[in-house]
Structure 1
Amino acid sequence: MPTSAVDPRQFKSFAEFYPYYLGEHSNRTCRRLHVVGSFMVLCIVTASIASGAASGLLLALLTGYGFAWVGHFVFEKNRPATFIRPLYSFMGDWVMFKDVLTGRIPF
């Protein structure tokens, strides 16, 4: 599995990290899986809040990361930055989701 020559721990801010994050999502299928997973997370969290079922939050977590990790390991052929920079990666997921919805990044 190829690895990037860039160490994600070197970034001092999310603004520095995000271009790296996008580079780790250059495969369109990987990006699409992230977007679908993020959308499903929003649906599951909304349903969990509406029903008062806290167990849905675990399902949301598994769904979001499940879709993302399949994208990385099967299509992108890289290791998710979540393992090294979990907060920046989580933030990157949602910024990329917004960027896809607004047309800044192709779906």
Structure 2
Amino acid sequence: MDVSLPRLAEDIGLSVSTVKQARWTASRWSTDQRRKGVSFTVHRVLASIEDDAERFAAIDQPPEGKTRCTVDDAQRVNQSLPCPQGQNPSVICWTRRFTAGPSPRGRSAK
């Protein structure tokens, strides 16, 4: 592992896995696609949507009667998506639905 991540984590007082998770989430959302007023956790949950257009649309479509997407809403969106074709659905769908990005404990969904 590159020494810069552990050094950064130590400097800012976070675990390496937390820094990795934040980096992964940020990599899935270009600066112009990030939404003010929407939590980083919502961005993290929706980041596991593979298709860029689908992911970007999901954050702009809050549930009816709401002005923004909550973490629970994002998890429901993620769970309602079909599993990718040609892949083992018992592994891929479980991974996408129950782990959005790298786990805080350092285990990766990939």
Calculate the TM-score normalised by the size of structure 2.
Answer: 0.26
Structure exhibiting the larger radius of gyration computed from Cα positions: 2
Calculate the TM-score normalised by the size of structure 1.
Answer: 0.27
Higher helix content, 1 or 2 = 1
Name the structure, 1 or 2, with higher relative contact order (CA <8 Å, separation 6+). 1
